[in-house]
Amino acid sequence: MLVGVVGGGQLGRMIALAGIPLGHSFRFLDPDPRCPAAAVGSVVAGGFDDPAALERFAEGLDVATFEFENVPAATVERLQSLVPTAPGARSLAVAQDRIREKEFFRDCGIRVQAFEAVSSETELAAACGRVGTPAVLKTLRLGYDGKGQAVLRSARDVPAAWRAVGGVPCILEAFVEFGCEVSVIAVRARDGDARTWATCQNVHRGGILRRTVAPAVDVGADAEREALDAARRVAEALGHVGVLAVEFFVSAGGVVANEMAPRVHNSGHWTIEGAVTSQFENHVRAVCDEPLGSTDLRGPSGMVNLIGSVPRRADLLAVPGARLHDYGKEPRPGRKVGHVNCCAADARVRDAQMRVIEGIVGG
């Protein structure tokens, strides 16, 4: 099949790397003709909101998908009229609006923190009285890796927080006291077959994911079951086809849904070496209407993100069991330019590998 991917970043690149051995070829729509995915398929250079570029991109495709959730919904709706597309526009629309996302979780019976929509500094001040502080103010749309948000420790922080987010429509979320952050990567096929990988435990710094281990080590059995069940319910309620990720805070009262991503996800990169079938391969399988592969764990696994630049390659490659994934991006502060995976026979070996990798990476 000729598979089209809207977006040519590292996720699109890894989707193609997983799909090419299955006999598929790939085309990408991206504003940058030299995007990371250009190494593994052809690129139609154009804006995501450019109708002419979208038409050129769609011509001759067997199926299409997208690699990130900030694609304009109108683009996916138009694409669906031209070629079978998965996931559908509904998954995208829910994930793009943080109020709608929280309401969707709540309607699915999934625990969320107190939240409220705000569209002015006056509304924010009033919402602080109802939601309470500390709280997190996030833009209603866009924003990733800690961008587009501000923390309010008290009502005195309202003016500064409102300026920090640019005075645009936002969601105010009550701060959650949590022990750790986890995510569940799920995949659902067109026939409704749904599977999940081992729960991922994530560490963020500066709003950016720094490391992931799987299976999660600081999560009780009840909380893990709750998170896995919630992710399956999200996929089913959306009628989602492909991979999606749901992120949770693990609190004393159970898991609290933070947000979802209707795509392959950074916290699932360990599955390339650590699972029988990676998130990328199963996404291709689902989108192409092929049977899903096993999501079983090969062994305790981990991932370290490379932020800003790739350290000396020889140092990383010298670590026993480490697998380097370089995205081919120009170095830039705060930019994800690659990651390193490891998978071991037991958790002690995995943890030792992670310590060595993190020592090389630093930060």
* pLDDT in 10s for each residue of the chain, 363 residues: 999 999 999 999 999 999 999 999 999 999 999 999 999 999 999 999 999 999 999 999 999 999 988 888 889 999 999 999 999 989 999 999 999 999 999 999 999 999 999 999 999 999 998 998 899 999 988 755 556 889 999 888 999 999 998 989 999 999 999 999 999 999 999 999 999 999 999 999 988 999 999 999 999 999 999 999 999 999 999 999 999 999 999 999 999 999 999 999 999 999 999 999 999 999 999 999 999 999 999 999 999 999 999 999 999 999 999 999 999 999 999 999 999 999 999 999 999 999 999 999 986
CATH superfamily of 114-174: ATP-grasp fold, A domain (3.30.1490.20)
End-to-end CA distance of the chain: 42
Give the pLDDT score at 144.
Answer: 56
Give the pLDDT score at 9.
Answer: 96
Give the pLDDT score at 148.
Answer: 80
Give the pLDDT score at 242.
Answer: 98
Give the pLDDT score at 52.
Answer: 95
Give the pLDDT score at 143.
Answer: 59
Nearest-CA neighbor of 138 among 93, 129, 127?
A: 127
Give the pLDDT score at 10.
Answer: 97
**CATH fit for domain 2-85, picks 3.90.1150.10, 3.30.479.30, 3.40.50.20, 3.40.630.10:** 3.40.50.20
Around Cβ 125, how many Cβ atoms within 10 Å?
14
Q: What are the residue boundaries of the structural domains of the chain, listed by start?
A: 2-85, 114-174, 180-361
Q: What is the distance between the alpha carbons of residues 246 and 257, in angstroms, rounded to a whole number? A: 7
Its CATH class, for the domain covering 180-361, is: alpha beta
Give the pLDDT score at 70.
Answer: 86
Rg (CA), the chain: 20
DSSP 5-36: EE--SHHHHHHHHHHGGGT-EEEEEES-TT-G
Beta strands (DSSP E) in the chain are 2-6, 25-30, 42-45, 63-66, 115-118, 135-139, 149-152, 170-174, 180-188, 194-196, 200-205, 208-214, 242-251, 254-261, 301-307, 323-326, 336-343
Hey, what's the torsion of the CAs at 269, 141, 251, 161, to 10 degrees?
120
pTM given for the model: 0.94
Give the pLDDT score at 126.
Answer: 93
Give the pLDDT score at 145.
Answer: 53
Q: What is the distance between the alpha carbons of residues 101 and 139, in angstroms, rounded to a whole number? A: 13
